[in-house]
Amino acid sequence: MKTKQYELNGRRYDLDWLRVLAFGILILYHTGMFYVADWGWHIKSDVTSETLQLFMRLVNPWRMPLLFLVSGAALWFAAKKTSALGLFKLRLVRLLPPLVFGMLVIIPPQIYYQVMQSEGAVFSSYLQFYPIYLDLGTELFPEHQSPVGLFSWTHLWFIPYLLIYTAAFVIIKPLLDRLAAFLSRDNAGLFWLYAVPLALIIPYAIYLRPFYPQTFVVAGDWYYHALFFTMFVFGYLMAGHLQMVNTLVRRRWMCLAISSLSYLLCMLCEFGQLAVPLSAVVLINCLNGWSWILTVLAWSAAHLNRPSKALTYMNTAILPWYVLHQTITIILAWHLSSLGLPISLEATLVVLGTVAGCAFGYEVIRRLRLTRFLFGLKLQQSNRSSVSTRLESTLEKCAEY
């Protein structure tokens, strides 16, 4: 059967689906962080699994780079309808309130249970802890300190990083547009789709990663800034390149084979079953991460480029779900782990409870004007200025983050 060829003037529903699915993986991933052996997290189960690492290592190298790539692709579509500065302003209006509200209200329970597990029952109640969390100069619990006391954005770090990269995009957009126009002249083969990104990613892994481990606090996070911003730029450049899309779709089985082989090699290296030089390990790890990104792009373009009422709903719900999910997961995991349930039942309840909590939370949030603003949803108001209406309409039609 002949593979569908894509029209660039149409909406890329496959990118919408990818964003939804990537954020959906977060619920499973963060539940896994509670149970996986040897990996630190806010709280940990008394029962941990080394086997779980196999599944989490499968998605860990590409889940966040993919989100930044999709975010960059969203700008390509949105930039055709409004200015780069206008897009940044709207992203700021949409994303800054959830970040601030999240740090003040949603995040504190995560730090509370983290301190309670590691330090013991040092607080009689959450209300006793909260003023300490708000004290940016506190020196209590140094092992849990951020640069400003216990105050933190934990899993919401994606928002400030995305805002920074969008601000940089405003500055370099003319250069990116010229580069995109140059790339569109050529029919990109699969070799170049692998070789060019890896030519950047591999030096990052060699010269930056050993010296700059991830901090989640912007400053000093140079390896991940290099990686994520590169993915962000690739997303912008690839979104408008019809040949790249169709090359990936045609060669999707090859992409899957390369990804599967690279993952197998990674696991053999990780668990000492394959003795290779360190340089080869770096090469394999980089290939593994990038090849899975190309694979999910290829298969989603081939099979998910279609509209859906469920997709429309989830596209709107995804930001509130993202803000809420980890706090709900931690609260459920903390309390369910004390009941002595079979571990499989406990983990299932944590996942289902997180989904149910996010769904209920979103249904409440979307019905109130104040909560819509605080969680970055479009405000439903008839007397807004025409400029504001056009800007919001633009991102309603394109991927927002």
pLDDT digit string, tens, across residues 76-119 = 988 888 888 988 998 999 999 999 999 999 999 999 999 999 98
Residues with Cβ within 8 Å of residue 250, at least 6 apart in sequence: 3
397 pLDDT band, cuts 50/70/90, is very low
pLDDT class for 8, splitting at 50, 70, 90? very low
Q: Give me the residues paired with residue 149 across strands.
A: 146
**Burial group, residue 332, by CB count within 10 angstroms (0-12, 13-18, 19+):** buried
pLDDT category, 264, cuts 50, 70, 90? very high
CA distance 3 to 115: 54
Average pLDDT rounded to a whole number, residues 130-147: 93
Q: 10 falls in which pLDDT band (50, 70, 90)?
A: low
- Tokens 């819509």 locate to 372
Q: What is the mean pLDDT of residues 21-36?
A: 94
Tokens of 180: 């995109």
Does this model's pTM top 0.75? My answer is yes
